Amino acid sequence: MEMSPMIESFVFHFGEMGSRWGFNRTVGQMYALMVVSDKPLNANQMAQALNISRGNVSMGIKELHSWQLIQQHHIPGDRKDYFSPKGDIWDMANTVFEERRKREVDPTLSLLRDILLDAPADDSEAYAQDKMREIHDLLETGTQWVGELQRMNPDNLSTLMKLGAGVAKVMDFKEQLLSSTEGKSDKRDR
Amino acid sequence: MEMSPMIESFVFHFGEMGSRWGFNRTVGQMYALMVVSDKPLNANQMAQALNISRGNVSMGIKELHSWQLIQQHHIPGDRKDYFSPKGDIWDMANTVFEERRKREVDPTLSLLRDILLDAPADDSEAYAQDKMREIHDLLETGTQWVGELQRMNPDNLSTLMKLGAGVAKVMDFKEQLLSSTEGKSDKRDR
DNA sequence: TTTAACTTTCAGAAAATTCTGAAACTTCAA
DNA sequence: TTGAAGTTTCAGAATTTTCTGAAAGTTAAA
């Protein structure tokens, strides 16, 4: 099994980029290859196409499994395991965000929360805590928001995306109708 | 200049996480240190606090400059350069997103666009192109949207965030009032 | 059971990244 | 100009990450 130049350029590029997204080059290549393959692939095919060792492929599969990005198939009469991406591209994006949040943001939030429980020993610690609180609040608001977007049904999300900055207009609109039921707008302090 | 345990744990953690955000451990530590310092720091102070070489600090400063994350100060009567984070935490988040987009998403979009110009040679290339088109469209919509959010004024953005999933309700609300002026909703195909 | 087909593991090799520190460079006050 | 105070550069050392391939492990048909 060998890749056409078109597929090759995609796979290699994805390998480089993939490393930025939390997995290494070969794992990125493996995933890219599965995405553009119209049928599930077995480990040997991947090793051959990407010119990497069989052992490396095995590690990569394990990693992609832990990211919940792939799916295993059993083809009757064939003892090899076949793999394909799980879900569609949208699901992939969701999964990657989700996993990254678990690995990167959650531990940071937890550390910040712990630190913020301690009373500051002096002015410089008080200053530091203020900054940490800002970061904490930003991360918390951000993750909550992303979580809500992810839980939103795809239709509404799509509308929202297409709406883009127009969302501001809708909100103004709402505010006009419902104005003066709430306190004055709370500005972000800068 | 030495760090209190509180600041140290923040700085070290940020160093580990920072490496996920596109810069290496020491660069992350340097930035974290500047964020929690109530006054600008010079290169020697950073080298001492973080216990790294002076040369390494110089590289780090260069890197943070290229990310537009820091600001240089000249203190009269002192020939050293002093550094502090540029803007507030919110600006930092914006800058990091922006820079990452430039470095990661833009090149991918450009590659995908190029590939999609070529006619597929066979069925399997046609399948691959379909998938690439999906990825292309997702990235494009996503970046456009993020761009618009970034261009939105902070007040509205804050309202939008606080609104969270409630945004769906506002949209429904709008739709009820303005319904039947546009075509039927376009679902995401899955 | 046996055994052939296949998968996983992991120690060490290879590669990539990061870091150090000495030397080169820059700047400015005297 | 000179030289002291500072900064940057970069070759090679140190460290970290990734990859290989042989050996151990698993599975299922016969």
Q: Is the pLDDT of residue B124 over 80?
A: yes
Which alpha helices (H) appear in A37-88, and where do they start and end?
43-50, 54-66
Taking only the tens place, the pLDDT of each residue in A59-109 is 999 999 999 999 999 998 898 999 999 999 989 998 998 988 998 899 999
Of the partner residues B104, B152, B165, the one whose CB lies closest to the CB of residue A165: B152
d(CA A93, CA A47): 25
d(CA A140, CA A109): 7
Q: How many CB atoms lie within 10 A of CB A142?
A: 14
Instruction: State how many domains chain B has.
Output: 2
Instruction: Indicate if B67 and B79 belong to the same structural domain.
Output: yes
Instruction: Indicate if A54 and A96 belong to the same structural domain.
Output: no
Interface contact B179, partner A, CB < 8 A: no
CATH of the domain at A69: 1.10.10.10
Answer with the one of A59, A85, A111 that is the final residue of a domain: A85
Residue B109: inside a domain: yes
Answer with the one of B85, B100, B128 that is the final residue of a domain: B85
Residue A53: inside a domain: yes
Residue A77: inside a domain: yes
| Bigger pLDDT: A156 vs A129 | A129
d(CA B120, CA A51): 24
With bands split at pLDDT 50, 70 and 90, how would you rate the model's confidence at B5?
very high
d(CA A46, CA A111): 40
Instruction: Indicate if B80 and B12 belong to the same structural domain.
Output: yes
Answer with the one of B28, B56, B85 that is the final residue of a domain: B85
Residue A26: inside a domain: yes
Backbone angles phi, psi at A6, to 5 degrees: -60, -50
Instruction: Indicate if A80 and A97 belong to the same structural domain.
Output: no
With bands split at pLDDT 50, 70 and 90, how would you rate the model's confidence at B51?
very high
Interface contact A138, partner B, CB < 8 A: yes
pLDDT for A171 equals 67
Taking only the tens place, the pLDDT of each residue in B128-172 is 999 999 999 999 988 988 888 887 776 777 777 777 667 666 666
Instruction: Indicate if A113 and A66 belong to the same structural domain.
Output: no
With CA of B56 and C1' of each nucleotide, the nearest comes out as C19
Residue A178: inside a domain: no
d(CA A113, CA A107): 10
Residue of chain B minimizing CA distance to A165: B148
Domain of A75? 5-85
| Burial class, A100, CB count within 10 angstroms (exposed 0-12 / middle 13-18 / buried 19+) | middle
- Contact present, A54 and A44 (Cβ < 8 Å): yes
Instruction: Indicate if A106 and A63 belong to the same structural domain.
Output: no
Interface contact B152, partner A, CB < 8 A: yes
Instruction: Indicate if A49 and A100 belong to the same structural domain.
Output: no
What residue has its CA nearest to the C1' of D17? A24
Q: Which helix (H) or strand (E) holds A107?
A: helix A106-117
- Distance from first CA to last CA of chain A, Å, rounded? 57
d(CA A48, CA A44): 6
Provide the 8-state DSSP code for B81. Answer: E
d(CA A124, CA A186): 28
Instruction: Indicate if A67 and A98 belong to the same structural domain.
Output: no
The three-state secondary structure class of B70 is strand
Q: Which residues touch strand C (CB under 7 A)?
A: A 42-44, 54-55, 58-59, 61-62, 78-81; B 19, 24-27, 51-56, 59, 79
Instruction: Indicate if A134 and A69 belong to the same structural domain.
Output: no
Residue B189: inside a domain: no
Residue A106: inside a domain: yes
Mean pLDDT computed over B26-47: 97
With a 7 Å cutoff on the CB, does B25 touch strand D? no
d(CA B166, CA B162): 9
Helix axes A89-100, A123-151, angle to 10 degrees: 160
Chain A: give the shortest CA distance to residue B77, in Å.
Answer: 25
